[in-house]
Amino acid sequence: MLTVRGLTKRYGGVTAVDGLTFEVRPGAVTGFLGPNGAGKSTTMRVLLGLDRPTSGEALVNGRRYGDLPRPAWEVGALLDGGAAHPGRSAWAHLLALARGSGVPRRRVAEVLEEVGLAGVAGRRVGGFSLGMRQRLGIAGALLGDPGVLLFDEPVNGLDMDGVLWVRRLVRTLADEGRTVFVSSHLMSEMQLVADRLVVVAGGRLVADAPLSELVAAWTRSRVVVRTPDPGVLAERLRRDGAGVEAADGGLVVHGTTAEAVGDAAHRAGVRVHGLRLEEASLEQAYLELTGTGVEYAAGRGGRDGQEEK
């Protein structure tokens, strides 16, 4: 289990994480979402003992990372797929990690097979593609067969087969009863794999809930209707208590169903050229929660001009 309690981390005058509190429990995939600069990477670094908190605490199985007797056996992490020395082979890289962590040598071959790199174990990492480096990073996280796993953007650089493999992997790990914490900018991926979401913005917690509850609570389904008589239909729908907005070639209707919109059009004698229900999505919920958009995500970076995930 991961426990973050009142965590604050400042770098000089910049507060990267501000009083953050949440738990990541075993047996589920917990997604970690937030715009650039929200403090996600900083939180993971503190959990892994790479940064010290200014105040509060971040614990792995109830202990600080530095107090774990054999950390690789309890927690594994992928923070940077490019962390391996380019001059080493995949085998040599993992063997060095194993020796430094007290992990049996046989695990090197096992994790290389598990991530699909057994056939290139002797190749130097410098010749690997981004996707292969990601797989090697995941292999390193799995090396000690830990019960807690943290993955930062695990599908970055992977092709479609690799993305599907990561989805199956994180699901399998959670189903085995492990604690799985996954940070990603890909809303579609989170909607497919996460059971629960922790959402941060500006270093602060804005949501901690099951994915289904978060989407339902923060967004509404809407009905999009195309009609050559939008004014007449809008008046009818507003009388029925629906919220109506003009859209290109028609209307966007809130607070009702597609069937009700069709019935209203029939009563008003209005022709309908198209009618569809747009279900609430994680992306909509995320934007409402964080109050951010594409311009903010593209235009801002982390400290020292580097992107903070």
What was the pLDDT predicted at 308?
45
CA pair distance 180, 172, nearest whole angstrom: 10
Q: Average pLDDT of 156-185? A: 92
What was the pLDDT predicted at 255?
80
| Predicted confidence (pLDDT) at residue 296 exceeds the cutoff of 50 | no
Task: Report the chain's mean pLDDT, rounded to a whole number.
Answer: 88
| Predicted confidence (pLDDT) at residue 133 exceeds the cutoff of 90 | yes
CB 22 within 8 A of CB 206: no
| Predicted confidence (pLDDT) at residue 295 exceeds the cutoff of 50 | no
Q: What are phi and psi of 298, to 5 degrees?
A: -85, -30
pLDDT tier, 305 (very low <50, low <70, confident <90, very high otherwise): very low
CB 138 within 8 A of CB 128: no
Compute the C-alpha angle 155/188/148, nearest 5°: 50
The rounded percent of the chain whose pLDDT value lies above 70 is 90
Domains of the chain: 2-209 (3.40.50.300), 220-279 (3.30.70.100)
Question: Who contacts 286 (Cβ-Cβ below 8 Å, separation ≥6)?
Answer: 33, 187, 199
Q: Which of 28-42, 235-249, 274-288 has the lowest mean pLDDT?
A: 274-288
What was the pLDDT predicted at 180?
98
What was the pLDDT predicted at 34?
86
CB 38 within 8 A of CB 9: no
| Predicted confidence (pLDDT) at residue 309 exceeds the cutoff of 50 | no
| Predicted confidence (pLDDT) at residue 218 exceeds the cutoff of 70 | no
pLDDT tier, 281 (very low <50, low <70, confident <90, very high otherwise): low
**The token pair that represents 48 in the structure block:** 């892994």
Q: 21-36 burial by CB neighbour count: b if 16+ within 10 A, else e?
A: ebebeeebbbbbbbbb
What was the pLDDT predicted at 103?
96
Q: Is pLDDT larger for residue 297 or for residue 139?
A: 139
Q: Average pLDDT of 2-10? A: 97
**The token pair that represents 4 in the structure block:** 């973050």
